[in-house]
């Protein structure tokens, strides 16, 4: 069977970036949560917060390591898979990536060492500053890479000479029209992912009976975050959607499954888009709702896919991914409110009376991952066939490798990533199962305890 | 001043410097990774602790090096990375395995520790071999013919021996007791293959590339260049001396071995830079032909001259914080 090398190159890049984004999504949000734990224990002296910090810093470190190594892969793959992109758009993409390395990567990587191992070697203040610097570094990193991604979606501030992009205004390149929305949407998504992760793992600990006061404090922190940020995300998402409608109407048409331009367009809740027949089978529609949501007018006109002949993204994946993202988002709002209500009312820390909540939260542990992946599929598949919207086609920048080479390495990457993903989740489970006791002790005490246990067992 | 002339030169220098720092710093990490199977379980923990606070930032230097290639020389970036597709992919897989093993080996539970230790060593070895392969292919202008493939294979075997030496020398600085003695033995063993490879590469490079041969063996250049091989030989002799002198080792001057290796690396990169210049891909494209638009380079230039001193500053700070012998710091 002959595979299209272009499709394989896209699949390989998609596999890498999908695996990569899982971990920054956690760390961008989690490091600010850690900073909060750190502040709480510095100012309250409460051991529970200190315990929460040191428990979660370990999970942060693991997630960070996975993000770093898969991120390095990304930085090479621009060249190995998409050399045309760098040759044509290098004048714009290069400096943005360069600023990410210079302002973010070294900062995070260097101060992470102090954050993890430096507690006994530096003052409390320096350790606190190191925690902030790592958080700032990860946020800088998100800033630059999202700026570049947004520029690819809504390019401004450039001129083209002989097919090569040149910069007219750095301000317009960096703060291009979709950037503020994408940055807010992704940053909030990271915080939500972290919120459900900390709640999920804590719930799992509570169900296993390995919880302490810290577990419930962490769970309440997550519940408060979710209850506020999940509805906020719905609002930001709506704004982001309106921005996309203005700049990338074909993407919106694919997301909503709107085939023909119409006024008072209905909203398709579910259905099976069929690109051949240009229709959505078994569609469940709400009259006029698409127009209302998108144009904020009952009879507003919504452009259909027919307007963008030859320049439309694949409809079904965008349509489905969008519904997955929105579905999980709505679930997050409900579970966020429910858990805040259950956890803050009477501060009930009894796993017998909270059984249903704990079950729900542990099921939702990785819900942020699924929503974030689905959201990125919407925006990235929705940009096709362009790599730089309306200006440069993805097919024109792909590297000229044989399909056997790309298929072989793709297979290798997928195996490796599956192995790492399974190891990551298994390790998280393992860490969550460990009783709280050993972590509150100093290394010396722990060593003594271990020795006693060993004697006891012998 | 002609920015179109100076900016590519600045970025070529910055890229060379970033890659040199990478080879020295991640070199010792990867070297220790490859030495891991030869240590006892307790020693393995100390060895990982000796690189734990540093490896992540060390690895970032290759991202900066490749980043500058991408930012400043996008044309060359495409040629280099598409030609080196396979070794780059394998190196990345090696770096991935090595990088995640730091955490997994202590967090995944005791019954998985041996597996992650093996993957740590395996990843380090794969990454080192692939980097040697990439370097070898790059030096011969990415032609891919039989001679250059043979040359790439030679460097693929040679570079790990340099990394192992760096690793052993780093352990002289960071460890004591039995592990220190082991590091001395490892260094004494690895120093010979490393020297042999150094010599072979010095002979083979001008043989495979007539362009490089011309640069080195025409008068009067040849005389002016003599200090480079001579100083390299001297540093190498010093390295052997440090590893074999009980007096130096037991009076806390083991760090001299690391200095000698740094000198070898610096001299080798000066030699390499001289061999390639002004091309960025030998015989194919010069640094000015491959460079980005001047306004893009200038924008990055301002960022670089502000950020790079800061990066160097806090890198030194981190090394100061974690100076001295490695203690049992735990990822657990």
Between positions 38 and 77 of B, the ones with CB within 8 A of A are: 52-54, 56-57, 59-60, 62-64, 66-72, 74-75, 77
**Cα separation of A413 and A182, whole Å?**
28
Whether residue A372 is predicted with pLDDT greater than 90 in this model: the reply is yes
Whether residue A451 is predicted with pLDDT greater than 80 in this model: the reply is no
Between positions 345 and 374 of A, the ones with CB within 8 A of B are: none
Whether residue B57 is predicted with pLDDT greater than 50 in this model: the reply is yes
Mean residue pLDDT of chain B comes to 87
Share of chain A above pLDDT 90, in %: 34
Between positions 68 and 87 of A, the ones with CB within 8 A of B are: 68-70, 72-73, 75-76, 78-80, 83-84, 86-87
pLDDT in tens, A199-250: 999 999 888 888 778 888 899 999 999 999 999 999 999 889 888 888 888 8
Q: Supply the pLDDT for residue A283.
A: 79
Instruction: Considering only the beta carbons, identify the residue of B70, B314, B322 that sits closest to A90.
Output: B70
Report which of residues B282 and B232 the model is more confident about: B232
Whether residue A442 is predicted with pLDDT greater than 80 in this model: the reply is no
Whether residue B208 is predicted with pLDDT greater than 50 in this model: the reply is yes
In this complex, is the C-beta atom of A163 within 8 Å of any C-beta atom belonging to chain B?
Answer: no
Of A52-56, A184-188, A208-212, B55-59, the range with the lowest mean pLDDT is: A208-212
Whether residue A439 is predicted with pLDDT greater than 60 in this model: the reply is no
Q: Supply the pLDDT for residue B330.
A: 57
Write the CB contacts of A408 (distance below 8 Å, at least 6 apart in sequence). Answer: none
Sign of the torsion formed by the C-alpha atoms of A291, A293, A297 and A298: positive
Confidence grade of residue A195 (pLDDT, cut at 50, 70, 90)? very high
SS3 for A392? strand
Q: DSSP code of A162? A: T
SS3 for A92? helix
**Cα separation of B50 and A117, whole Å?**
11
Tell me the chain B residues in contact with residue A67 when contact means C-beta distances shorter than 8 Å: none
pLDDT in tens, A338-371: 999 988 887 777 777 788 988 999 999 999 999 9
Whether residue A440 is predicted with pLDDT greater than 70 in this model: the reply is no
Instruction: Considering only the beta carbons, identify the residue of A58, A99, A413 that sits closest to B303.
Output: A99
Instruction: Considering only the beta carbons, identify the residue of B54, B99, B328 that sits closest to A69.
Output: B99
Maximum C-alpha span of chain B = 64
Mean residue pLDDT of chain A comes to 85
Do the Cβ atoms of B102 and A58 come within 8 Å? Answer: no
**Å from B155 to nearest chain A CA?**
21
Which residues in B299-323 are b (16+ Cβ under 10 Å) and which e?
bbbebbeebbeebeebbeebeebbe
Write the CB contacts of B89 (distance below 8 Å, at least 6 apart in sequence). Answer: A80, A409, A412, A413
Whether residue A180 is predicted with pLDDT greater than 70 in this model: the reply is yes
In this complex, is the C-beta atom of A162 within 8 Å of any C-beta atom belonging to chain B?
Answer: no
pLDDT in tens, A267-321: 888 888 887 777 888 878 888 888 888 888 888 888 888 888 888 888 888 999 9
Tell me the chain B residues in contact with residue A119 when contact means C-beta distances shorter than 8 Å: none
Maximum C-alpha span of chain A = 80
Tell me the chain A residues in contact with residue B108 when contact means C-beta distances shorter than 8 Å: 423, 426-427, 430
pLDDT in tens, B101-142: 988 888 888 888 889 999 999 999 999 999 999 988 888 877
**Chain A, nearest residue to B331 by Cα:** A58
Highest CATH level, class, for B11-292: mainly alpha
Share of chain A above pLDDT 70, in %: 94
Confidence grade of residue A35 (pLDDT, cut at 50, 70, 90)? very high
In this complex, is the C-beta atom of B92 within 8 Å of any C-beta atom belonging to chain A?
Answer: yes
Instruction: Please state the rounded mean pLDDT for residues B214-237.
Output: 84
Do the Cβ atoms of A413 and B93 come within 8 Å? Answer: yes
Do the Cβ atoms of B96 and A95 come within 8 Å? Answer: no
Q: Supply the pLDDT for residue A260.
A: 83
**Cα separation of B20 and B11, whole Å?**
14
Confidence grade of residue A446 (pLDDT, cut at 50, 70, 90)? very low
């Amino acid at each position: 069977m002959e595979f299209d090398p272009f499709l394989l190159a896209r699949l390989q890049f998609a596999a890498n970036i999908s695996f990569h984004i899982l971990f920054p999504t956690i760390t961008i949000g989690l490091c600010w949560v850690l900073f909060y734990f750190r502040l709480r224990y510095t100012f309250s002296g409460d051991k529970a917060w200190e315990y929460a910090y040191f428990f979660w810093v370990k999970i942060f470190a693991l997630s960070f390591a996975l993000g770093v190594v898969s991120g390095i892969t990304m930085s090479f793959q621009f060249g190995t898979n998409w050399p045309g992109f760098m040759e044509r758009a290098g004048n714009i993409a290069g400096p943005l990536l360069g600023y990410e390395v210079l302002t973010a990567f070294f900062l995070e990587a260097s101060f992470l060492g102090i954050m993890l191992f430096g507690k006994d070697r530096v003052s409390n203040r320096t350790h606190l500053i190191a925690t902030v610097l790592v958080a700032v570094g990860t946020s800088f990193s998100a800033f630059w890479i999202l700026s570049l991604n947004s520029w690819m979606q809504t390019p401004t501030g450039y001129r083209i000479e002989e097919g090569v992009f040149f910069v007219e205004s750095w301000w317009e390149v960096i703060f291009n029209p979709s950037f503020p929305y994408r940055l807010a949407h992704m940053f909030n998504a990271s915080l939500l992912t972290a919120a459900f992760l900390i709640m999920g793992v804590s719930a799992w600990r509570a169900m296993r009976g390995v919880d302490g006061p810290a577990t419930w404090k962490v769970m309440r922190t997550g519940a408060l975050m979710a209850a506020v940020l999940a509805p906020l995300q719905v609002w930001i998402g709506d704004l982001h959607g309106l921005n996309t409608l203005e700049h990338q109407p074909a993407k919106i048409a694919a997301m909503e499954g709107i085939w023909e331009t119409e006024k008072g367009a209905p909203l398709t809740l579910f259905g099976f888009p069929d690109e051949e027949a240009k229709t959505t089978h078994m569609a469940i529609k709400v009259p006029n709702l698409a127009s209302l949501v998108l144009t904020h007018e009952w009879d507003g006109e919504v452009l259909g896919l027919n307007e963008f002949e030859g320049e439309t993204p694949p409809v079904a994946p965008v349509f489905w991914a969008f519904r997955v993202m929105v579905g999980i988002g709505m679930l997050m709002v409900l579970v966020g409110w429910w858990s805040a209500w259950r956890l803050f009312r009477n501060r009930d820390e009894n796993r017998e009376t909270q059984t249903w909540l704990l079950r729900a939260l542990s099921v939702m542990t990785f819900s942020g991952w699924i929503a974030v992946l689905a959201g990125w599929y919407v925006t990235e598949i929705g940009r096709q066939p362009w790599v730089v919207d309306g200006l440069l086609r993805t097919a024109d920048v792909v590297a000229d490798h044989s399909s056997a080479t790309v298929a072989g390495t793709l297979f290798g990457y997928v195996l490796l990533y599956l192995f790492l993903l399974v190891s990551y989740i298994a390790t998280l489970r393992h860490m969550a199962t460990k009783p709280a006791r050993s972590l509150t002790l100093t290394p010396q005490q722990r060593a003594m305890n271990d020795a006693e246990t060993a004697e006891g067992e012998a | 001043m002609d920015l179109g002339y100076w900016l590519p030169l600045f970025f070529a220098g910055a890229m060379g410097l970033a890659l040199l720092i990478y080879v020295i710093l991640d070199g010792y990490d990867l070297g220790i990774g490859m030495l891991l199977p030869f240590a006892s379980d307790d020693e393995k923990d100390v060895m990982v602790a000796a690189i734990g606070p540093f490896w992540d930032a060390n690895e970032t230097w290759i991202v900066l090096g490749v980043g500058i290639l991408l930012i400043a020389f996008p044309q060359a970036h495409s040629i280099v990375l598409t030609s080196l597709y396979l070794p780059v992919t394998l190196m990345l897989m090696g770096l991935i395995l090595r990088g995640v093993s730091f955490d997994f080996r202590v967090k995944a539970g005791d019954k998985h520790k041996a597996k992650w230790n093996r993957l740590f060593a395996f990843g380090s070895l794969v990454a080192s071999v692939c980097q040697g392969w990439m370097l070898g292919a790059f030096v011969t202008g990415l032609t891919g013919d039989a001679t250059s493939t043979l040359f790439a294979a030679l460097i693929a075997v040679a570079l790990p021996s340099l990394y192992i030496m760096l690793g052993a020398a780093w352990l002289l600085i960071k460890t004591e007791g039995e592990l220190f003695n082991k590091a001395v033995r490892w260094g004494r063993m690895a120093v010979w293959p490393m020297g042999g490879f150094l010599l072979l590469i010095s002979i083979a490079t001008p043989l495979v590339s007539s362009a490089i041969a011309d640069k080195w063996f025409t008068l009067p250049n040849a005389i002016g260049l003599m200090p480079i091989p001579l100083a390299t030989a001297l540093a190498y002799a010093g390295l052997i001396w440090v590893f074999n002198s009980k007096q130096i080792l037991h009076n806390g001057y083991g760090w001299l071995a690391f200095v000698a290796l740094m000198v070898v690396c610096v001299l080798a990169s000066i030699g390499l830079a001289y061999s390639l210049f002004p091309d960025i891909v030998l015989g194919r494209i010069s640094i000015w032909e491959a460079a980005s638009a001047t306004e893009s380079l200038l924008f990055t230039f301002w960022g670089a001259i502000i950020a790079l001193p800061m990066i160097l500053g806090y890198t030194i700070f981190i090394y100061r914080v974690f100076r001295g012998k490695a203690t049992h710091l735990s990822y657990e």
